[in-house]
A and B are shown apart, each in its own frame.
Chain A
Amino acid sequence: MATMSESIPQSNVNGRASWATVKQVLSYGILFLLALTFIYPFLLAIATSFKTLPEINQYPVSLIPRVVTLEGYQRLLTFNVPRWTLNSAVVAVAVTLGNLLFASLGGYALARIRFPGSKAVFLGILGTMMIPGIVLLIPMFIVLKMLGFVDTYAGLIVPKLITAFSIFLMKQFFESVPRELEEAARIDGASPLQIFFRVVLPTAKPALVALIIFSFQGAWNDFMHPLIVITVNQQLFTLPLGLALLRGGMGQNLQWNSLMAGSMLTTLPMAIIFFVFQRYFIEGISYSGIKG
């Protein structure tokens, strides 16, 4: 060690020190600049949602509206947006509850219960993850049509009540729970159902929170599925579906304050959830490593 540090000329050490400073400054510079490109678009969208139509395309763009107006939001009311928001909320909550229950049950069974055929079931679920969602677009429509699910809440909710991703998340989690807990309960004569609800599930809180977040996010932001389920009944539009078709309906005459207002309304609930539960988002992704 001694010979090594001696062999480094003094000037080199100084050079290294200043290089480290340069590197630091450069890192922060790039990171903040990039952060700006992530934040600014949202700020501008918020500002635009409060601007009057003539002001929106004025040069240069400004983050502060000269005249603050609720015109954009008021116009949304005439387009049934409150109903769409309610639909989105109902669908997202139902889908989240379904995933919570079915993924915990399924994940636990796959992780802990030794039952015949469990391997085949697991491989089957793994296999469905290989199937890209877009491939299911048309056949999903066929099945929905046969079941009479087109243009219904059931069509929006039932196919999404459980996802392979949720099952894997929970399976992964339950595998990390110490077995001793269940052993003790089993010796006391508890049935698998009792063990699951009374002993194991209460330990799963962090995984369940992650699951709530991902399921809600997936359902709230989903566009493709509502697009094929809801064909004529505008009363059943979800928020993203309504917004996309609102844009289409405006043709060339795009009322940007309303479109930005709608986008911000769609973003707001997720933003609130995100800032409250940040930790779980990050953990959830790192933890499962299978988001997608």
Chain B
Amino acid sequence: MTVATGIRGEDRQNAIAGWLFMTPTILIFSVFIIIPIIAAVYFSMTDWNGISPPIEANFIGLDNYKAILTEPGIRQTDFFTALKNTTYFALGVVPMQTIISLLLAVVVNQSLLRFKSFFRTTYYFPSITSSVAISLMFLFFYQKSGLVNQVLGTLTFGAWEPIAWMADPRGLIHIVLSWFGLTIRTAPDFLTQTSLFGVTLWSWISGPSVALTGIMIMNTWTTIGTMMIIFLAALQDIPNFVYEASQIDGATAWTQFRRITLPMLRPTMFFVVTLGLIGTYQVFDQIYVMSSGGPAKTTLTIAYLVYRNGFNNSQMGLGAAIAILLFIIIFALTMIQRRITGSEADN
């Protein structure tokens, strides 16, 4: 009981205290994360509809996975359409948010800059706002008569034709191709007739639709604040003497940025890109509120497909299988990215 019982008593006391302190966490994590994960793997191999008692679900092996990945049909087409949309989403948002937030951080970090805290506060503010509130705001701005079209109209001196952003399924790459006369009617047969995983080649190269682009811009707008703060913290960790030394050697600001700032920020960059990938591959709230996957399924993302299958179409088993696949995709992407940035960091 007392210190006098010596080392052994203290060890036991520590063991009891340690596990006691961890109990609430272990309990909640087991029930709401670990058991669900195991359950997810099991239910992804059943035909459970979400309504009948879970124990009555039939075990169907890998049928759900086959339906999604290999059997031609609506399930395969939906999954790969969602994968395509989500990938365009990530390819647009991750570089945009990383580059903009890095530049902002470098600019805001300048020692001579005034109103520093004003800029930091302003840029960060959207990050604390509810995704539903932001989505409703942008839904309003993206209307045909809304703010975005008005601003674009003013900037182009009236040349901009107002569009209903959220109702526009045209792909950006398709739009560019159409300027050169290449549309679905004039496109060569091998593009429009060949299907890869239930999606035609022509659809694969659509680019993000106008509607999806709208959501991408909004997403970038909301997240750069957080990313900027992360970069700022890392920038402040770079010791000043490194810059001073390079200045004596006659390095220009650009050389300093390229040779000192960027290499020193590599771990942070890895962190920000990982956060970005994980976030974009799960985009859900915004889709739910703004577009419900439409128009023409061009904003259907994997996360939304999981929800729609499970909760709207009573196909929990199928939804669980898609969720597991999403987990694998995100995990693989993170590993690939770690390998790329990791090997460069060694040099």
Contact = CB atoms under 8 A, between A and B. Distances in A.
- A and B from one complex: yes
Contacts of B179: none
B137 interface: yes
A262 B274 CA distance: 33
A118 B40 CA distance: 27
Contacts of A187: 3
SS class of chain B's interface: helix, strand, loop or mixed?
A: helix
A186 B3 CA distance: 8
A266 interface: yes
Contact of A162 (B28, B131, B284): B28
Interface in A25-71: 27, 30-31, 34-35, 37-39, 41-42, 44-45, 48, 57, 59-61
Contacts of B125: 38, 42, 271, 274
A143 B54 CA distance: 10
A124 B230 contact: no
B131 A141 contact: no
A208 B126 CA distance: 23
Nearest to B36: A139
A137 to B, nearest CB: 6
Contact of B320 (A138, A220, A240): A138
B206 interface: no
Interface stretch (B113-121, B187-195, B238-246): B113-121
SS class of chain A's interface: helix, strand, loop or mixed?
A: helix
Interface string B13-54: 111011101101110110111111101100100000010001
Given A223-B132, A244-B289, A278-B121, A292 B40 contact: no
| A-B pairs, 8 with minimum CB distance | A115-B18, A286-B233, A139-B36, A192-B17, A109-B21, A263-B133, A139-B40, A240-B132
Contact of B136 (A31, A125, A136, A247): A247
Given A27-B113, A146-B54, A224 B140 contact: no
B40 to A, nearest CB: 4
Interface in A237-284: 239-241, 243-244, 247, 254, 256, 259-260, 262-264, 266-267, 270-271, 273-275, 278, 281-282
Interface residues of B, number: 96
Contact of A106 (B22, B37, B117, B302): B22
Contacts of B89: none
A254 to B, nearest CB: 8
Given A191-B13, A228-B311, A128 B34 contact: yes
Contact of B128 (A189, A217, A264): A217
User: Which of B128, B150, B279 has most A Cβ within 10 Å?
Assistant: B128
A192 B132 CA distance: 44
Nearest to A105: B21
Interface of A: 4, 24, 27, 30-31, 34-35, 37-39, 41-42, 44-45, 48, 57, 59-61, 101-103, 105-106, 108-110, 113-118, 121, 124-125, 128, 130-143, 145-147, 158-159, 161-162, 164, 167, 186-187, 189, 191-193, 196, 217, 220-221, 223-224, 227-228, 239-241, 243-244, 247, 254, 256, 259-260, 262-264, 266-267, 270-271, 273-275, 278, 281-282, 285-287, 289, 291-292
A244 B139 CA distance: 12
Interface stretch (B69-77, B104-112, B255-263, B339-347): B104-112
B15 A116 contact: yes
Contacts of B334: 130
A251 to B, nearest CB: 12
A31 B119 contact: yes
Nearest to B118: A35
Given A113-B17, A292-B279, A134 B306 contact: yes
11 contacts: A34-B104, A37-B221, A132-B326, A143-B36, A162-B24, A240-B131, A263-B133, A266-B133, A274-B128, A282-B124, A285-B229
Contacts of A109: 17-18, 21-22
Given A27-B110, A270-B130, A282-B124, A61 B119 contact: no
B324 interface: yes
B140 A167 contact: no
Contacts of B275: 291-292
User: Which of B3, B22, B28 has most A Cβ within 10 Å?
Assistant: B22
Contact of A138 (B22, B28, B40): B40
Contact of A114 (B14, B108, B250): B14
Contact of B229 (A57, A110, A224, A286): A286
B94 interface: no
A126 to B, nearest CB: 11
A138 B306 contact: yes
A266 B132 contact: yes
